[in-house]
Amino acid sequence: MSRTTFTIAYDGPALREGLMDVRDLAPALLAVGRLFDAANLTLNGDSAKVSVQVRATTAGSFEIVLELFQSLGQQVVELLTGSAVTAVLNLKELILIGGAGGFSLFWLIKKLKGRKPDKLERISPETVRVTFEGETFEIPMKLLRLYQDIEVRAAAEKVVLVPLRNPSIETFEVREQGRKVVTVTRTEAELFVSPEMAEITLTEGKSLKAFSIVSLAFKEDNKWRLHDGNTQISALIADENFLRRVDASEVSFSKGDILICEVKITQRQAKDGLKTEYVVERVVDHKSPPRQIQMNFSDDRPSQTI
């Protein structure tokens, strides 16, 4: 087991009196744990686990012990620079403290103002050159991976931004051996807003489907609720000719009506999981429910109604 320590501090009028609302403190400490969990998963996968524990507190600061455990079945965990001891130190440096170059996740968020770099160049498997607003600097590839990770950024937001929205808390600090190594003011905290994950299109296709009508929407861009016999969906009706006929009362609807539609189905991976979008591009036919019983005649002609 390897272990390293650092201190975080939230400073402000209330904290100078030795007080901090538990509703601010508890989520922030949980977010510190999630931040290291997400960073460890991004860089190390299942090779090792980290645990963040509170050792002791003083007015305005909370000292936290970071512990890195080996996975079951492994005799030696080689992480980051090669050993478990170095790994846990590097994890802390990559997120908070900064190594020899002073580069850390919190530094990079402030440097890039939470935005995407203007240009990225891979210098080596371990190093990337970053260009932003006319300035160029080189950082570890692992640091860039942390900056890109949605879970890491979301946890960093909860560590910094959420507490600093409290008027009684003015700054967030990271200290090591009594020395301030990171300071984030309330103004800078807005840079820590985590970016939204861009939706990724997984599948897209068109098919001919039959739907019963659950409910209609006559406002522009509103979706109709349809049922395919198995599942209820919300679909955007993009057939302008059909909508024009509906607006002109050339089409009427009754219970049991069926729409035969050319529908485009798109599935996307989003932040909240899988999303499926339905767009009816053309209403091919509008069928009313049958009102006569079909019967077969003995002359073998097709079924008729009487």
All structural domains of the chain:
2-114+146-192 (no CATH), 200-287 (2.40.50)
> Do 55 and 63 meet the contact criterion of CB atoms below 8 Å apart?
yes
pLDDT at site 144: 94
Kindly state the average pLDDT of the residues 35-57: 80
Q: What is the mean pLDDT of the chain?
A: 82
CA 128 and chain centroid, separation: 24
What's the residue count for the chain? 306
Residue appearing with tokens 């770099």: 117
Secondary structure (3-state) at 56 = strand
Return the top range by mean pLDDT from 9-23, 30-44, 224-238: 224-238
Q: pTM score, two decimals?
A: 0.66
DSSP output for 151-201: HHHHHHHHHHHHHHTSTT--EEEEEETTEEEEEEEHHHHGGGPPPPPPPEE
Name which of 90, 212, 102, 95 is nearest 155 in CA terms: 95
pLDDT at site 81: 46
Label residue 84 by pLDDT band (50, 70, 90): very low
